[in-house]
Amino acid sequence: MASFTRHPDFPVSKTRLTATSRLWKMEVREWAFAEVNVTDVDPGLKPTSNNPNVATDHYSPTKPDTIKGTTKTGSRDMTVRFYARAPGFTIIHLFETNPFVPAFDGLQVEVMRRRAPKEAEISLTKLLGTTCAINAPDAMAYDMGTTLTFDKTLSDPTKVFSAVPGNLNHLVISSHGGFQNVADMKDVTKMSLYVCGGDTALFRLTVADVQKAFDTLKGRFWRMASSGSADARSAATRISAPRLHGLSIDPSLPLATRW
């Protein structure tokens, strides 16, 4: 039976599954294209959106933001690409002749409002190469090629990044941070990252621990050599640990190792 499944390029954290692991919802930022896969599609079925104000439907096939379904020759699997026009809800479904009669259960899409005032002013960044994100348990903000969560049982700063793989181009870290109490706010050296979460009883990465933690990342990054050859890799072995008060950067380092 046909069903919607997450496209590999779409973040896991922005999808919702039923108790039987069926994809039933996606959350997409406005003014962006998104893709979703559909398995076991009968020939002749086409995708549409039941709320064209939120996600463009199929009625204007020549427009670049019109919903489209592509199927490879000999395959019954389809990739549906649609455009998130405005905040709100819509159902993406497939139909045969009548767009108001779904061929099977549709997919709910919630388009989330973007902070930019208008489409022309949004800022999108795609990190190329091998990527990794590591999130605090209460700050699950990023999905990348490898997505990790800081271990809540941490107590040793040299183990903070132990799960991070090697041969990376980019490492993205998501964590809350601040001071343990109001009195400490007068001393920036008492700032810390809440890598295990907001519970004050859990381990926090302090300014004094930063060098120990980030030193363990040495040798896990690479960058393209000046020759431009994809096989010519130059090991980036120097890591500049960010100072928590301002996350300062050593500009002499390769881009792949900057924080």
pLDDT tens digits along 74-95: 899 999 999 999 999 999 999 9
CB 128 within 8 Å of CB 173? no
pLDDT score for 225: 36
pLDDT score for 124: 62
pLDDT tens string 8-49: 888 888 999 999 999 999 999 998 899 999 999 999 999 999
The domain that contains 91 carries what CATH number? Answer: 2.60.40.10
Q: For residues 226 and 57, which has the higher predicted lDDT (pLDDT)?
A: 57
Is residue 78 located within the same domain as residue 147?
no
For the chain, the domain total comes to: 2
Indicate if the pLDDT at residue 67 is higher than 50: yes
Is residue 7 located within the same domain as residue 71?
yes
Is residue 136 located within the same domain as residue 247?
yes
- The chain-wide mean pLDDT, for the chain, equals 81
Residue ending a domain, choose from 66, 85, 114: 114
- Burial (CB count <10 Å: 0-12, 13-18, 19+), residue 151: middle
Is residue 237 located within the same domain as residue 179?
yes
Give CA–CA dist 222/166, Å, rounded.
9
pLDDT tens string 157-176: 999 999 999 888 889 898 88
Using a cut of 0.75, tell me whether the model's pTM lies above it: no
Q: What percent of the chain has pLDDT over 90?
A: 44
Q: Note whether residue 69 is domain-resident.
A: yes
Q: For residues 16 and 230, which has the higher predicted lDDT (pLDDT)?
A: 16
Q: Note whether residue 120 is domain-resident.
A: no
* Long-range pairs of 197-201 with CB within 8 A, sequence gap ≥ 24: 197/136, 197/137, 197/138, 197/152, 198/138
Q: What percent of the chain has pLDDT over 70?
A: 81
Is residue 187 located within the same domain as residue 252?
yes
Q: Note whether residue 123 is domain-resident.
A: no
Indicate if the pLDDT at residue 212 is higher than 60: yes
Is residue 105 located within the same domain as residue 196?
no
Structural domain that includes position 66: 3-114
